[in-house]
Amino acid sequence: MFIPRFRSHFTSRLGFARARLLLDASILLGTLTLAGSLGTHLSVVRGSSMAPTIRDGDRIMVEPVIAGVERGDVVVLSYPLDPTVDYVKRVIGLPGERVTMAGGRVWVNGEALVESYVEAVDHGACISTRVPEGHYFVLGDNRPRSSDSRDFGAVPMEALRGEVHLKVWPPARVGLVD
């Protein structure tokens, strides 16, 4: 019968691996097609500054910023010291807010943030700054391994290239970005 041959072929190790690869490739191709029609683009992450949320080698969908961003949003921005390089960071401070970091904690306008997405805190960071109008204060989730607003200052709105809501590759890490 057809079903037993189908099952034996696709349940063999080599057959299952080929079927999975074909399925993964089909999903990625469909995602890229949809992305192009929505004005989004695919980006490959390099580095560990956003771990564990986004890891080195992850492929992410970058959507245009339409109505501004909110605290906690993950964004892609042009690196202020070399605009040809893109960085992925999390928005912490909004225009006009005071951001303070000390002892591994972050406060915005005097209120401590609960940051479940942070992999490792930076106990050595000590900063207090007001975010200028039209700018955002951004940090990586892996604080000791991140070059962010602590180094290059608040980021102007026009440097934000897009928001990240979805990881699309590798298949084991596909999902929403919180």
Residues carrying an active site annotation: 49, 89
Are residues 59 and 167 in contact, defined by beta-carbon separation less than 8 angstroms?
yes
Residue with tokens 């074909």: 22
**Beta strands per DSSP E along the chain:** 41-44, 59-63, 74-78, 86-93, 98-102, 105-108, 111-112, 127-130, 135-139, 155-156, 160-169, 175-176
